[in-house]
Chains A and B, each alone.
Chain A
Amino acid sequence: EVQLVESGGGLVQPGGSLRLSCAASGFTFSSYSMNWVRQAPGKGLEWVSYISSSSRTIYYADSVKGRFTISRDNAKNSLYLQMNSLRAEDTAVYFCAREGESSRYFDYWGQGTLVTVSS
């Protein structure tokens, strides 16, 4: 059974940093591209970042480019999101999502971890 479990969320002050993790199991993690998607309270889904299976290709949404860094450790079956210079508008539930084999859709999602940026 495919499982994605996020952790690392919490309350952080504006300008602060946080590192999210996503532990993957039930599939060959090193064979799949992964993404982070967020959802602000009461709002829609917003894509944050993409990383290919080998980490060779990385993309970011304009709203986080230069502040967030996506990475992965295939030996540990883990995906990460380093978030720096956090702003109030980064407050959201952050989901990790596995990308499908044949196109850019997300076939499995984690349960999400809440990040709250507030003083």
Chain B
Amino acid sequence: SYELTQPPSVSVSPGQTASITCSGDKLGDKHACWYQQKPGQSPVLVIFQDIYQAGKRPSGIPERFSGSNSGNTATLTISGTQAMDEADYYCQAWDSSTARVVFGGGTKLTVL
């Protein structure tokens, strides 16, 4: 079955750039997206990809969130990280060969 691998945790200082990776076989050929989840809340879509463009932000998501997807790795980048960005982040892709949605294991972002 298709798997997506994320680092369990990433730390960043306020104002610096945080990068969270998501690895999977030929992930660049799939449409990867990212969700932010804060404790006790539902996930929020922060970056998505469609047939037209990668790294798209839904309405209301700050410009400091960006994404890329190439080769075997998708990356979520948060520029000028703020304390409010501390959360769990999940990547997700669609595996068309098995008709399954796949989530990465999640990365806990700590801003300290």
* A108, closest chain B residue (CB): B45
Q: Is the CB of A47 within 8 A of B100?
A: yes
Complex Cα gap A62–B43 (Å): 23
A95 touching B42 in the complex, CB below 8 Å, given contacts A50-B101, A59-B99, A105-B33: yes
Instruction: Count chain A residues whose beta carbon lies closer than 8 angstroms to a beta carbon of B.
Output: 22
Q: Is the CB of A104 within 8 A of B94?
A: yes
Q: How many A-B contacts if CB must be within 8 Å?
A: 66
Which residues of A sit under 8 angstroms from B88, Cβ to Cβ? 44
Complex Cα gap A66–B43 (Å): 27
4 nearest CB pairs, A to B: A102-B50, A47-B101, A104-B94, A105-B33
Q: Is the CB of B94 within 8 A of A111?
A: no
* B106, closest chain A residue (CB): A44
* A59, closest chain B residue (CB): B99
Which residues of A35-62 have CB atoms within 8 Å of chain B's CB atoms? 35, 37, 44-47, 50, 59, 61-62
Complex Cα gap A24–B67 (Å): 30
Q: Is the CB of A110 within 8 A of B42?
A: yes
Interface string of A54-90 (1 = CB under 8 A from B): 0000010110000000000000000000000000000
Is the C-beta of A32 less than 8 angstroms from some C-beta in chain B? no
Contact for A44 among B1, B90, B101, CB less than 8 A: B90
Which residues of B sit under 8 angstroms from A111, Cβ to Cβ? 42
Is the C-beta of B65 less than 8 angstroms from some C-beta in chain A? no
A104 touching B103 in the complex, CB below 8 Å, given contacts A95-B42, A95-B43, A112-B42: no
CB proximity of B107 to chain A, nearest CB, Å: 10
CB proximity of A103 to chain B, nearest CB, Å: 4
A103 touching B31 in the complex, CB below 8 Å, given contacts A61-B100, A109-B43: yes
Is the C-beta of B49 less than 8 angstroms from some C-beta in chain A? yes
Interface string of A85-99 (1 = CB under 8 A from B): 000000000010000
Is the C-beta of B21 less than 8 angstroms from some C-beta in chain A? no
Which residues of B sit under 8 angstroms from A46, Cβ to Cβ? 103
